[in-house]
Every structure is written in C-alpha cells, then in structure tokens.
Amino acid sequence: MRYPLELHPTIAAWFAGKGWAPRQHQLDVLESWQAGASALLIAPTGAGKTLAGFLPTLTDLIETPHDGLHTLYISPLKALAVDVARNLTIPIGEMGLKMRVETRTGDTPAARRQRQRFDPPSILLTTPEQIALLLSHPDAVQLFGSLKRIVLDELHALVTSKRGELLSLAIARIAVLAPQMRITALSATVARPDLLREWIALPAPQAPAHLLKATGGAPPELSILDTEDRLPWAGHSAAWAVPALYETIKRHRTTLLFVNTRSQAEMLFQNLWAMNEDMLAIALHHGSLSVEQRRKVESAMVRGDLKAVVCTSTLDLGIDWGDVDLVVQVGAPKGSSRMLQRIGRANHRLDEPSKALLVPSNRFEVLECEAAVEAVAENHQDSEDPTTGGYDVLAQHVLGRACAGPFDADDLFAEVTRAWPYRELPRSQFDRILDFVATGGYALRAYERYARLRRTPEGLWRIANPQTAQQYRLNVGTIIEEPMVRIRLVRGRGFRKGATSGPISRGGRVLGEMEEYFFTTIVPGDTFMFGGEIVAFEGMHENEAFVSRAQATNPKIPSYMGGKFPLSTYLADRVRKMLATPEDWRALPDQVAGWLHLQRDFSVLPGRESLLVETFPRETHNYLVCYPFEGRLAHQTLGMLLTRRLERARARPLGFVASEYALAIWGLGDLSALIRTGRLSLDELFSEDMLGDDLEAWLDESALMKRTFRNCAIIAGLIERRHPGKEKTGRQITMSADLIYDVLYAHEPDHILIQATRRDAARGLLDIERLGECLKRIRKHIVHKPLDRISPLAVPVMLEIGKEPIFGEARESAMADAADELMREALGG
C-alpha cells in the first residue's frame, strides 16, 4: 500500500477520522497532478468525484502557501457550483484549513463579483459564462496569472454544446496567461474518452494528459414495464401505463420519472394526479415552469418530502439526491448513454445497483426500449462526440479578447487553434471572422467608419470605444432562450366562434412561460395543457398570453413537438437488427411480436442495411411509406427533399409527416404504377445528390434556417439580446432576424454568418449529416413493396397524420383555399 505515504498527514488524518480510505481514482488524480500532468477522470456518479477533483488543491495549498487564485472549478450548472462549494467547505473546516472558497454566478451580488476580480479567493467555483466575462477585463492577466488548476465538472455534457466551444477558447486563453496551469476534468462514461482527453490536453501541449478511470460500480438493474394491457399504436402519452406507474411509485421511497418533452410531462403529471387517492406528494419539474416553482420542487426533493417527480431533461444533471431509489423513463430512451446518465440519478451509492424501469408509450418504442436494455447491459456508450467550433462562438470570443486589451492577430490565431474545437480552423476563416467582428465582414465595405475594432499604429487590434466592451459584457454567453411569453390565468369570456379581439381582462396569476412560437400555431379558443391543467387560449397582449380554465376533458392541441433528442444511430441500428431477426422477437411482448409477424406475412420486414419502401392507395390518395429509423429531424429533411423530387417526377405529392422511425408521403399520382412502369426510379429518388441542388433550393425558403440564423446572429453579436438600459423582447429579435437573414442571404450567401448557420443547421434542426450517412448506407439497397392497402408497420406513422405538423406546399395553399372560399361565397355557392 503506497497511498498513506502520498497523502499529506492532515488529509490522511481527516480520512482516518472519518473511518474512510481514499479511493484509488482519487489517489490517481493526485498522482497525475504531482507528476505535472493534466487528467481526465471518467467516473460514474457517486464515486466521490468532487473530492477527487480537489484533493490536489487541498494538498498543494497545505504544502505551499499561495497568493491569489489557485483553483478554478467550472460546472455547467450554477446550482452544482453552489452545491460543490458546500461539499468542499465541510472537509476544509474539519481539516482546520484556512482557505477561501467562493462561488461566482449570475446571482452573485455585483459588489462581490467586483471584489473577486482584484481580491480573488483561493478556490473559485463558477460557470463558463462567468469565465468569459472575467477574461474580458484588462486585469485578467493578474487574476489568472497565479492560477495552478482548473477543475472541469460534467465535461461530457459541456463539450457537445456551444457553451463547451466558448469554454475551450477561454481555457486556451488562460493557458497562455498561466502556463503552469493543469486541468482535471471529470466526466461520466462516454463513447470516446480519447477525444475528451485530447480536448483538455491541447491548450497546454507541453504537459501530458492522463486518462483515468474509476473502477467498480454495480451494474444497473433495468427492466421494461410488463403489461397485458393493449399497447397503443402511436402517441406519446403512455396513459396505458399510469395505473401500473402509480403502484410502482407507492412501492418505492422516491421515484424520478423522466419524459422527453414538456407536454409529455404535463400529460403524465395530470394522469397521475387524476388517480392519486392516497394524495402522494407528486411534483412536476420542467423548463417552462417559473424559476420559483422549480426551486420549490428541488428543495422539497432535498428535504425528502416528495414521493415522485415528473421531469424532463432539466433534471438530467444536477446535485445529488441520495434518496431516489427508482428512475422511470417514460417514452423512448433515445440513446444508451443518455439512459445510463438518467439511471445514474438513482442511488448515488457506488456499490449498490441503480434501479430503472422503462415504459414504452407505443409499439415502436417497445423495440427501442428492448434495444436500450441490451445496450445498457453491455454498457455500450453512444454519447455524442465533442462538437467542432462554431464561427459565431469564435466571433464572440474575438470581441471579448479585444475588450481585455490590444492583441496581435497571429498570436490570437495560434491560441485559438489550441482550443480543441478549433484545432483545424483555417487561417482564412479566422481572418474573415476577425473582419466580421470589426466591420460586419461584408463584401461591400460600408461600415469602415463605424468599425468596432481598429488597428493601432503597431498593427495590434483594439476596440474602437468603451461602449463596445459594455455591450459585449451584456451579451456574453451562448445560451439563447427561445422568445418566451408569460402565461396568465384570466376569467374566460366564453369563446365564441368568429369573435374577434374584444378586450380581455388582464392581470391574473402567472402560470409560467412558454415559447412564443407555440402561440403562432394556435388560435383563441384552442385548448392545451399547462401546469397540469387544461386551459383555453384567450388572446395575447405584448409578451403575455392569456388563458382561462377550460371545461374540456381532452386538450385540443396536443402540443407535442417531438423528442428533443433523436434516436441515437447506435440504438437505431439495434432496432433494425431486431426487426430483421425474427428469432429475437421472443423477448418482445406478444402483441408486438404478433404485429411484426403480421408485417412479415403481409409485406416484408425492413432489413438491417436496406431501406423498405411501401406504396399503397388509400381513399383518394396514394401513399409512400419508408422506414429509415433516423429520427424525426432527418426524416423531416428527407420528406422536404423527396416531395420536391416527386413534384418534378409529376407524382403530384401533397404533403408528408415524419415520425422518429418512418416517413409517409402522400399525393395524387399512382406511385406504385409510376415505379412499375419505370417512370419513377427509387434509386434515383433516394440518391445522395438530393443533398446538393435540391437542398440549396429548399434552404432558400426554410424557416428552420431562419431560426438557426437568429441564434448564430445573437451569439456572434450581430443582433444584441440586451442593451444597456433597455431589454429587447424576444419578438423584436425574431422579427428582425428573419429580415436580416433574407437580406443577407439574397445578397451575400457566402457570408461567414450564413456559413455558420448552415453548419449548425446541418447538425441541428435539419440533421443533414445523419441523412447523408443514411442515404449512403441504403444506396442500391432499396426494397420496394407495392401493396393494395396499408401495411401493419405503416399504421403508427399514418396515425400521426393530423397530429403532427404537415409540410409541403400546404401553407401557400391555405391562402388560396381561403380565397376560393370567398369566391364561392360571392357566387352564392
């Protein structure tokens, strides 16, 4: 045993006093630090990661007195920073050490934040946005010069977002200010730990970076809710499972119920309360509820007052709740890493297995749940890789760098390429981004006289005036909130059809917030679910939406926006394999296996490497249904592109609907006949070149591009989210962003921000990357099955018609229909 020798006596005594022994991975982190290396520690929750991260700091501060900032702890959640500060202060006090530990978040009083800049604590716990702010001051050189360690928590969650990109740039900057600094990163298990190791190694290339793994941890116990009840074909409410879930909640101490969307959370919460005769303390937690309401739920949870919480990804990360003994995933698990992360929210003791229950809400999801159970049993990881650098984020960083003092472009370029997401950034792109920050980067040099950055006589770049720095600091960060409106409960005015905007009583209790976008899709009188009750939309005034209690038992608008996370490619592959392997169906519930048998007899089963395309007539239309299993976003993009091509092939498509698993297109043309007679070739229809011109043509008009552009433009500083003295409302930003996009795209489609938007859209809302992979995989492997009616496998996606938004030319034609109607009226029809 070598470890007692390495621990400082004060710390060793503290461990002994507790009757604990340090864990091996905690000592490994210390050893890496003492060897002068950075380290990435991969450990499951409950493994004592906090102590592992800070053991080197405590040791170093005991052994060597240190002036100024010693260790910076950065977490994605401010609640986590505050919690870790608490967990750290206790052992420091017990060891009798004198060192200052402070947090710095958006909630920290301005006076303290000011003081922290010239009189910093030894250990500062904060978020990526605060680091960017601190770095934008000229005194960052002194503040960070003394820094010896950075501890990055939940790195796996940070690196897949723009926040991670911003953080990587900040770390590259700090590495220049403090060459002695070493990084310790803490992460959950990921698919490719090597990438994360490189991510932390690159900023300080002179130091090695070790990859450390915590061993142990009991494998989780995962099961699927068994049922004799009839499983629905489609839908996401999981209403069938509510009685069983209620009994399960009763049998456990505390249950966390995860769902994929806010509306599912609302629905499940309401259904559970409808049968809550025992008055169990069941709470609701999602991103639209007011902050106070969420804090209330969280503290009730910490006190152990709750029996269950229905929640969305808002509780994926966060502080430890020791009392949770069951995690339930309602609806598709989407990916095995995500599932493992959620399971990890139960039972934070390392040596006991965490318990989780999967509840599919429809038949397809049964397959996905089975695939997830197998993947979790094999501990297979399918987490996303770190993202590569967005130009919008870099633009923000360049401006921040200028706010801190004049810089040399060559130096900054070298520094930026030591941030992992930007390691392959070409110099020409960097120069364009610099030009964008200075004058907007337009080919028409219109704004030289308003430049935000100017060259000094020595050739350095500096900000043109102090207002620029002030504006930068108000707009820092990459988290863009969707424009939200407040929802107020008012007395109903008894909605009458045809009534226009009469006055509605204003005031009334605030229920929470919701995306403004949702209200552009509904009209007064529509009912929907919010805060666990059914409400009727009464009207809007400025940024408030008014609703009244509705009598309805079923909301008219399901407001199901689809899962935010697409089915991972890994799980999708497993699902296809399962479908193609009838021997494996024995594990499935009888009704699901029976359904697949029917499909095999009536049509064919989708192959693992091929794409099944079915065509059939139904009522007055002809349908094409295909089963790529690539997620809703990729299917929507595919649907948009296929309808364009079918239009050209004179198949007269009318619209389409996409689900997570399949895509259905309908139209007037007889698709089976077109294919049989060779007038339509499926290989050509699904050929990869649709990602060329057709995609370009479609992007011209795509609302999704505009929404993506808005985010890029805000992050890059083209549109401000806040002005000194006055807040812009989300609506104003949205309106102008659309217009700016149109003008810019029409005139300079190659502008750096349009490039940034394309990159984001390709991996985000349009999921073009994934669609491209899919088209490559199925090339020459398309199986066409003409049918005389709908197939069993097509039933779920066909049921989505009418519930999901329909795409295609339907919008312009709505106006034409309204005009036709008027014409008939005029003709007395």
The owner of tokens 């004060």 is 10
Token pair for residue 112? 């303290």
Total number of residues shown for the chain: 829
- Asked if 816 touches another protein (CB under 8 A), the answer is yes
Nearer to another protein, 719 or 793 (CB): 719
Answer for which of 363, 644, 751, 759 binds another protein (CB under 8 A) is: 751
Answer for which of 281, 740, 765, 782 binds another protein (CB under 8 A) is: 740
- Asked if 819 touches another protein (CB under 8 A), the answer is yes
- Asked if 447 touches another protein (CB under 8 A), the answer is yes
- Asked if 810 touches another protein (CB under 8 A), the answer is yes
φ, ψ (nearest 5 deg) of residue 673: -70, -40
Nearer to another protein, 748 or 769 (CB): 748
Torsion of CA 143, 144, 146, 151, to 10 degrees: 130
DSSP letters spanning 633-685:
HHHHHHHHHHHHHHHHTT--EEEEEE-SS-EEEEESS-HHHHHHTTSS-HHHH
Q: Which of 506, 493, 503, 546 lies closest to 522 in space, CA to CA?
A: 546
- Asked if 817 touches another protein (CB under 8 A), the answer is yes
- Asked if 398 touches another protein (CB under 8 A), the answer is no
Q: Which stretch, 56-64, 107-115, 258-266, 515-523, contacts another protein (CB under 8 A)?
A: 515-523
Q: CB of residue 521 vs another protein: minimum separation in angstroms?
A: 7
φ, ψ (nearest 5 deg) of residue 351: -90, -10
Q: Count CB atoms within 10 A of the CB of residue 424.
A: 10
Element (H, E) at 295: helix 291-303
Answer for which of 544, 584, 720, 769 binds another protein (CB under 8 A) is: 720
Nearer to another protein, 322 or 749 (CB): 749
3-state secondary structure of 321: coil
Q: CB of residue 540 vs another protein: minimum separation in angstroms?
A: 7
3-state secondary structure of 544: strand
φ, ψ (nearest 5 deg) of residue 615: -125, 140
For another protein, how many residues bind (rule: CB under 8 A)? 51
Q: Which stretch, 264-272, 355-363, 388-396, 494-502, contacts another protein (CB under 8 A)?
A: 494-502
Q: Which of 809, 719, 702 lies closest to 765 in space, CA to CA?
A: 702
Residue 636 CB-density burial (10 A; 0-12 exposed, 13-18 middle, 19+ buried): buried
Answer for which of 466, 780, 812, 828 binds another protein (CB under 8 A) is: 812
Q: Is the dihedral of CA 43, 44, 50, 51 positive or negative?
A: negative
Nearer to another protein, 13 or 743 (CB): 743
Q: Which stretch, 465-473, 620-628, 672-680, 789-797, contacts another protein (CB under 8 A)?
A: 465-473
- Asked if 636 touches another protein (CB under 8 A), the answer is no
Scan residues 521-580 and list those touching another protein (CB under 8 A).
521, 523-524, 539-540
d(CA 350, CA 46): 5
Nearer to another protein, 448 or 609 (CB): 448
Q: How many CA atoms lie within 13 A of 712 on its CB side?
A: 27
Give the strand pairing for 621-626 and 484-489: unpaired
- Asked if 440 touches another protein (CB under 8 A), the answer is yes
Nearer to another protein, 101 or 754 (CB): 754
- Asked if 827 touches another protein (CB under 8 A), the answer is no
Nearer to another protein, 233 or 517 (CB): 517
Element (H, E) at 387: none
- Asked if 697 touches another protein (CB under 8 A), the answer is no
Q: CB of residue 460 vs another protein: minimum separation in angstroms?
A: 20
Nearer to another protein, 155 or 714 (CB): 714
- Asked if 471 touches another protein (CB under 8 A), the answer is yes
Torsion of CA 56, 61, 66, 69, to 10 degrees: 50
764 neighbors 737 (Cβ within 8 angstroms): no
Residue 87 CB-density burial (10 A; 0-12 exposed, 13-18 middle, 19+ buried): middle
d(CA 190, CA 215): 14
- Asked if 452 touches another protein (CB under 8 A), the answer is yes
Answer for which of 640, 718, 771, 778 binds another protein (CB under 8 A) is: 718
Give the strand pairing for 653-658 and 101-104: unpaired
Q: Which stretch, 142-150, 575-583, 787-795, 806-814, contacts another protein (CB under 8 A)?
A: 806-814
Answer for which of 427, 747, 781, 789 binds another protein (CB under 8 A) is: 747
Q: Which stretch, 496-504, 594-602, 774-782, 790-798, contacts another protein (CB under 8 A)?
A: 496-504
Q: CB of residue 732 vs another protein: minimum separation in angstroms?
A: 8
Nearer to another protein, 222 or 719 (CB): 719
d(CA 638, CA 626): 11
Binding site for another protein (CB under 8 A): 436, 439-442, 444, 446-447, 450, 452, 467-468, 471, 498, 500-501, 519-521, 523-524, 539-540, 718-720, 735-736, 739-740, 742-744, 746-748, 751, 806, 810-819, 821-822, 825
